[in-house]
Amino acid sequence: MQGADEISVYFITGRHIDHYRRKAERMGKPLPVSVNIGLDPIIRLTSCFEAPTTPIGFYELGIAGAVRGRPVEMVKCVSVRAKSIARAEIVIEGEILPGLRIAEDRNTGKGLIMPEFPGYMGKSQPALPVLKVSAVTHRKKTVFQTLVGPGLEHVNLLGIPTEASITRLLEASMPGRLKNVYCHPAGGGKYLAILQVRKNKPTDEGRQRQAALTAFAAFAELKHIILVDEDVDIFDTDDVMWAMTTRYQGDISTVFIPDVFCHVLDPSSSPEFRPASRAPGIACKTIYDCTVPYTMREDFKRTGFMDMRLESYLD
């Protein structure tokens, strides 16, 4: 909040709402919007979906309706030509004004704003678009709902749509190769993905790395991908680290893709940390191939245990 009726808004490049804001600004027009607070879990989750699963023009609330089995009810705003979600606890209405910019830390001057999903305080931006508030409506006995970053609620909300983007593109381009994917909370749901891949025959060797490259294309903000075999539990970090320890050699199992865009909120992508970065967000994507060569799979069988019938010990 910048004042009684002004809110600064920070958009990461590529966000749909910013696409429409820029379009309106080129026309010299304000963009009417509604900010909806206090929503049911399905809407909170589906609002985190982004390209390529939901490209420009795709209505994320349509996903919410599909999951719930009924449409999300919308109502007209009272002060601007926009709609809001009918059962939101609070709705802030207004317009994003063309050509107007404001320093994010104008009222504090501290250079920091809020905890961000990577686990660090977000740096303030020097010039952000301004939302001019024209009305606030709310339900009776309003409940203000928020989440505190960068906890598990925050990063899991980000991770699930990322997994959907990767799964959709990989299944379309390499059907049957991906068994599962997990966007680990350590990467904030965006930076780190663990891909469980299948190798069915000798000629499948190398396709696991192609899957990683495809995943990078599916979700540009990914920074690290760990590839593992079908016998590794991707949701068990100890198991993933076991695979990295026993099925990975740094000099032959690592693929570097330098000088590509990842995410501006990754502090290690700054030119100060990485001199090769021309701007914040330019980083090195990395593939950690922790899969066993297909021809050596018999040498990497995990220790097995005999089946046991508990009843035989209870007599």
Torsion of CA 88, 118, 265, 38, to 10 degrees: 0
Alpha helices in the chain (DSSP H): 16-26, 41-46, 60-68, 152-173, 207-218, 237-246, 250-253
Which secondary-structure segment (H or E) carries 98? Answer: strand 90-102
Answer yes or no: 116 catalytic. yes
DSSP-assigned states of every residue in 193-234: EEEEE---SGGGTTHHHHHHHHHHHH-TT--EEEEE-TTS-T
- How would residue 191 be classed by pLDDT, with cut points 50, 70 and 90? very high
Task: Name the catalytic one among 116, 153, 230, 311.
Answer: 116
| Mean pLDDT score across all residues of the chain | 92
Helix crossing, 152-173 with 207-218: angle to 10°? 120
Compute the average pLDDT of residues 112-118.
Answer: 87
Strand partners, 96: 31, 131
| Predicted local distance difference test score (pLDDT) of residue 273 | 92
Which secondary-structure segment (H or E) carries 115? Answer: strand 112-115
Per mean pLDDT, which range of 58-67, 103-112, 302-311 is the poorest?
Answer: 302-311
Alpha-carbon span 1 to 131, nearest angstrom: 10
Compute the average pLDDT of residues 130-147.
Answer: 94
What percent of the chain clears pLDDT 90, i.e. is strictly above it? 69
- How would residue 91 be classed by pLDDT, with cut points 50, 70 and 90? very high
Which secondary-structure segment (H or E) carries 266? Answer: none
| Predicted local distance difference test score (pLDDT) of residue 119 | 87
Alpha-carbon span 274 to 16, nearest angstrom: 30
- How would residue 52 be classed by pLDDT, with cut points 50, 70 and 90? confident
In this predicted structure, the answer to whether residue 147 has a pLDDT above a threshold of 90 is: no
| Peptide linkage before 52 cis (omega within 30 of 0) | yes
- Cβ-based neighbours of 178, under 8 Å, separated by 6 or more: 166, 167, 170, 171, 195, 196, 197, 198, 211
Q: Which residue has the tokens 């107007």?
A: 100
Alpha-carbon span 70 to 98, nearest angstrom: 36
Helix (H, G, I), strand (E, B) or coil at 14: coil
| Predicted local distance difference test score (pLDDT) of residue 55 | 82
pLDDT tens-digit series, residues 195-220: 999 999 999 999 999 999 999 988 88
In this predicted structure, the answer to whether residue 139 has a pLDDT above a threshold of 80 is: yes
**Strand pairing of 224-228 and 282-289?**
parallel
In this predicted structure, the answer to whether residue 79 has a pLDDT above a threshold of 80 is: yes
- Cβ-based neighbours of 147, under 8 Å, separated by 6 or more: 153, 154, 157
Q: 133 with 32: CB under 8 angstroms?
A: no
Compute the average pLDDT of residues 293-304.
Answer: 92
| Predicted local distance difference test score (pLDDT) of residue 88 | 96
Compute the average pLDDT of residues 219-226.
Answer: 92
Helix (H, G, I), strand (E, B) or coil at 122: strand
In this predicted structure, the answer to whether residue 39 has a pLDDT above a threshold of 90 is: yes
Q: 215 with 170: CB under 8 angstroms?
A: yes
For residue 73, the 8-state DSSP code is P
Q: Which of 47-51, 200-204, 232-236 has the highest mean pLDDT?
A: 232-236
In this predicted structure, the answer to whether residue 267 has a pLDDT above a threshold of 80 is: yes
Q: What is the CA radius of gyration of the chain?
A: 23
CA angle 221, 195, 224 (to 5 degrees): 35
Alpha-carbon span 183 to 278, nearest angstrom: 27
In this predicted structure, the answer to whether residue 53 has a pLDDT above a threshold of 80 is: no
Burial of 201 per CB tally in 10 Å (0-12, 13-18, 19+): exposed
- How would residue 315 be classed by pLDDT, with cut points 50, 70 and 90? low
| Predicted local distance difference test score (pLDDT) of residue 278 | 86
pLDDT tens-digit series, residues 277-286: 888 889 999 9
Tell me where in the chain the CATH 3.40.1670.10 domain(s) lie. 152-300
CATH class for domain 152-300? Answer: alpha beta
- How would residue 35 be classed by pLDDT, with cut points 50, 70 and 90? very high
